[in-house]
Amino acid sequence: MSDLLLPPSLEGVEMVRSVRTPAHLDYSYTPGRAMSRFLTGLAEKKIRGQRCPSCGKVYVPPRGACPTDGVPTEEEVELPHTGTITTFCIVNVSFYGQGMEIPYVSALVLLDDSDIPLMHLVQEVPYDQVRTGMRVEAVWVSDDELKPTLESIKWFRPNGEPDRDASTMRGNA
Ligand SMILES: [Zn+2]
Protein backbone atom coordinates (compact mmCIF):
# COMPACT_ATOMS: atom_id res chain seq x y z
CA MET A 1 0.00 0.00 0.00
CA SER A 2 2.77 2.43 0.88
CA ASP A 3 4.28 1.90 -2.58
CA LEU A 4 1.29 3.70 -3.97
CA LEU A 5 1.73 6.76 -1.73
CA LEU A 6 5.46 7.32 -1.51
CA PRO A 7 8.35 7.03 -3.91
CA PRO A 8 10.65 4.16 -2.88
CA SER A 9 13.36 6.57 -1.69
CA LEU A 10 11.02 8.00 0.97
CA GLU A 11 9.96 4.71 2.46
CA GLY A 12 10.52 4.73 6.19
CA VAL A 13 10.92 8.52 6.29
CA GLU A 14 8.54 10.21 8.68
CA MET A 15 6.16 12.60 6.96
CA VAL A 16 6.31 16.28 7.87
CA ARG A 17 2.98 17.11 9.46
CA SER A 18 3.61 20.67 10.69
CA VAL A 19 6.20 23.42 10.45
CA ARG A 20 6.83 26.15 13.02
CA THR A 21 7.98 29.44 11.63
CA PRO A 22 8.10 32.91 13.20
CA ALA A 23 5.62 35.37 11.76
CA HIS A 24 4.57 38.91 12.61
CA LEU A 25 2.45 41.67 11.21
CA ASP A 26 3.12 45.41 11.32
CA TYR A 27 0.06 47.58 10.97
CA SER A 28 -1.06 51.13 11.56
CA TYR A 29 -4.14 51.93 13.60
CA THR A 30 -6.16 55.07 12.95
CA PRO A 31 -8.15 55.60 16.14
CA GLY A 32 -10.48 58.43 15.08
CA ARG A 33 -11.32 61.54 17.12
CA ALA A 34 -13.00 60.00 20.18
CA MET A 35 -10.46 57.23 20.64
CA SER A 36 -7.61 59.71 20.03
CA ARG A 37 -8.86 61.83 22.93
CA PHE A 38 -8.97 58.71 25.09
CA LEU A 39 -5.45 57.62 24.10
CA THR A 40 -3.84 61.05 24.45
CA GLY A 41 -5.56 61.31 27.84
CA LEU A 42 -3.83 58.13 28.98
CA ALA A 43 -0.47 59.75 28.16
CA GLU A 44 -1.52 62.53 30.59
CA LYS A 45 -2.68 60.03 33.26
CA LYS A 46 -6.33 60.80 32.53
CA ILE A 47 -9.17 58.43 31.66
CA ARG A 48 -11.55 60.20 29.30
CA GLY A 49 -14.99 58.91 28.43
CA GLN A 50 -17.88 60.51 26.56
CA ARG A 51 -21.52 60.95 27.61
CA CYS A 52 -24.50 60.37 25.34
CA PRO A 53 -26.73 63.49 25.23
CA SER A 54 -29.81 61.30 24.86
CA CYS A 55 -29.53 58.41 27.35
CA GLY A 56 -26.80 59.91 29.54
CA LYS A 57 -24.61 56.82 29.44
CA VAL A 58 -20.86 57.35 29.69
CA TYR A 59 -18.76 55.24 27.38
CA VAL A 60 -15.10 54.41 27.93
CA PRO A 61 -13.22 54.03 25.73
CA PRO A 62 -15.49 56.34 23.73
CA ARG A 63 -16.35 55.36 20.16
CA GLY A 64 -17.79 58.74 19.23
CA ALA A 65 -21.43 57.69 19.10
CA CYS A 66 -24.01 55.99 21.32
CA PRO A 67 -24.81 52.53 19.93
CA THR A 68 -28.31 52.68 21.44
CA ASP A 69 -29.33 56.15 20.29
CA GLY A 70 -27.15 56.58 17.22
CA VAL A 71 -26.15 60.13 18.19
CA PRO A 72 -22.67 61.63 18.61
CA THR A 73 -21.26 61.57 22.15
CA GLU A 74 -19.39 64.86 22.23
CA GLU A 75 -19.46 65.68 25.94
CA GLU A 76 -16.18 64.55 27.41
CA VAL A 77 -16.09 63.16 30.94
CA GLU A 78 -12.91 62.67 32.91
CA LEU A 79 -13.39 59.51 34.93
CA PRO A 80 -12.07 58.53 38.34
CA HIS A 81 -9.31 55.92 38.44
CA THR A 82 -11.42 53.62 40.61
CA GLY A 83 -14.02 51.06 39.69
CA THR A 84 -15.66 47.74 40.41
CA ILE A 85 -14.99 44.31 38.91
CA THR A 86 -18.14 43.16 37.12
CA THR A 87 -16.70 39.88 35.85
CA PHE A 88 -13.30 38.29 35.41
CA CYS A 89 -11.46 35.21 34.25
CA ILE A 90 -8.41 33.43 35.57
CA VAL A 91 -5.95 32.75 32.77
CA ASN A 92 -4.30 29.37 33.24
CA VAL A 93 -3.10 28.67 29.72
CA SER A 94 0.29 29.89 28.60
CA PHE A 95 0.60 31.29 25.10
CA TYR A 96 3.30 32.66 22.82
CA GLY A 97 4.27 36.22 23.71
CA GLN A 98 2.52 36.35 27.05
CA GLY A 99 4.03 38.83 29.47
CA MET A 100 2.30 37.68 32.62
CA GLU A 101 3.07 34.72 34.81
CA ILE A 102 0.10 32.34 34.94
CA PRO A 103 -2.32 32.11 36.59
CA TYR A 104 -3.34 35.75 36.30
CA VAL A 105 -6.65 37.59 36.24
CA SER A 106 -8.20 39.52 33.38
CA ALA A 107 -11.28 41.46 34.46
CA LEU A 108 -13.99 43.81 33.30
CA VAL A 109 -13.72 46.92 35.46
CA LEU A 110 -16.66 49.32 35.53
CA LEU A 111 -15.02 52.66 36.28
CA ASP A 112 -17.00 54.86 38.66
CA ASP A 113 -19.36 57.23 36.77
CA SER A 114 -19.14 55.13 33.59
CA ASP A 115 -21.58 52.67 32.03
CA ILE A 116 -19.35 50.32 30.06
CA PRO A 117 -16.71 48.16 31.71
CA LEU A 118 -13.11 48.26 30.56
CA MET A 119 -11.06 45.08 30.22
CA HIS A 120 -7.78 45.08 32.10
CA LEU A 121 -5.49 43.04 34.33
CA VAL A 122 -5.93 42.67 38.09
CA GLN A 123 -2.75 42.28 40.13
CA GLU A 124 -1.42 42.74 43.68
CA VAL A 125 -3.98 40.23 44.97
CA PRO A 126 -3.91 36.41 44.85
CA TYR A 127 -5.85 35.28 41.77
CA ASP A 128 -8.21 33.15 43.87
CA GLN A 129 -9.27 36.15 45.95
CA VAL A 130 -10.51 38.22 43.00
CA ARG A 131 -14.31 38.46 42.98
CA THR A 132 -17.20 40.20 41.30
CA GLY A 133 -17.99 43.43 43.14
CA MET A 134 -14.38 43.95 44.28
CA ARG A 135 -13.33 47.63 44.35
CA VAL A 136 -10.15 48.39 42.44
CA GLU A 137 -7.94 51.30 41.40
CA ALA A 138 -5.68 51.86 38.42
CA VAL A 139 -1.92 51.43 38.87
CA TRP A 140 -0.08 53.63 36.38
CA VAL A 141 3.38 53.33 34.93
CA SER A 142 5.85 56.00 36.05
CA ASP A 143 5.26 59.50 34.64
CA ASP A 144 8.16 59.28 32.17
CA GLU A 145 6.76 56.00 30.80
CA LEU A 146 3.26 57.38 30.07
CA LYS A 147 2.24 56.89 26.44
CA PRO A 148 -1.01 57.07 24.42
CA THR A 149 -1.83 53.43 25.12
CA LEU A 150 -3.90 51.49 27.62
CA GLU A 151 -0.57 50.02 28.75
CA SER A 152 -0.03 53.31 30.61
CA ILE A 153 -2.23 51.61 33.18
CA LYS A 154 -0.18 48.63 34.33
CA TRP A 155 -3.13 46.92 35.98
CA PHE A 156 -5.85 47.43 38.58
CA ARG A 157 -5.45 46.46 42.22
CA PRO A 158 -7.85 46.25 45.16
CA ASN A 159 -8.25 49.64 46.84
CA GLY A 160 -9.59 48.27 50.12
CA GLU A 161 -13.12 49.66 49.84
CA PRO A 162 -16.05 47.36 50.67
CA ASP A 163 -17.39 45.28 47.74
CA ARG A 164 -20.32 46.56 45.73
CA ASP A 165 -23.29 44.56 44.56
CA ALA A 166 -22.41 44.26 40.89
CA SER A 167 -26.00 43.45 39.89
CA THR A 168 -27.22 46.92 40.96
CA MET A 169 -24.45 48.96 39.38
CA ARG A 170 -24.73 51.25 36.38
CA GLY A 171 -23.91 49.45 33.20
CA ASN A 172 -26.07 46.48 34.14
CA ALA A 173 -29.40 48.24 33.95
ZN1 LIG B 1 -27.45 57.02 24.26
What's the 162 CA to ligand 1 centre distance in angstroms?
30
CA dihedral 37, 62, 117, 94 (to 10 degrees): -70
Element of type H or E holding 40: helix 32-43
What's the 65 CA to ligand 1 centre distance in angstroms?
8
Task: Burial-class residue 19 by CB neighbours within 10 Å (0-12, 13-18, 19+).
Answer: exposed
What's the 61 CA to ligand 1 centre distance in angstroms?
15
Q: What is the pLDDT along the chain (173 residues), one digit of tens a residue?
A: 445 566 667 777 888 888 889 888 999 989 999 999 999 999 999 999 999 999 999 999 999 999 999 999 999 999 999 999 999 999 998 877 777 889 999 999 999 999 999 999 999 999 999 999 999 999 999 999 999 999 999 999 999 999 998 777 765 44
What's the 13 CA to ligand 1 centre distance in angstroms?
64
What's the 171 CA to ligand 1 centre distance in angstroms?
12
pLDDT at 147: 97
Q: Is 14 in a helix, a strand, or coil?
A: coil
Question: What are the sequence ranges of the domains in the chain?
Answer: 32-168
| Angle (CA) 136 138 142, round 5° | 150
Amino acid 105 reads V
What's the 98 CA to ligand 1 centre distance in angstroms?
37
d(CA 14, CA 2): 12
What's the 76 CA to ligand 1 centre distance in angstroms?
14
d(CA 70, CA 91): 35
What's the 21 CA to ligand 1 centre distance in angstroms?
47
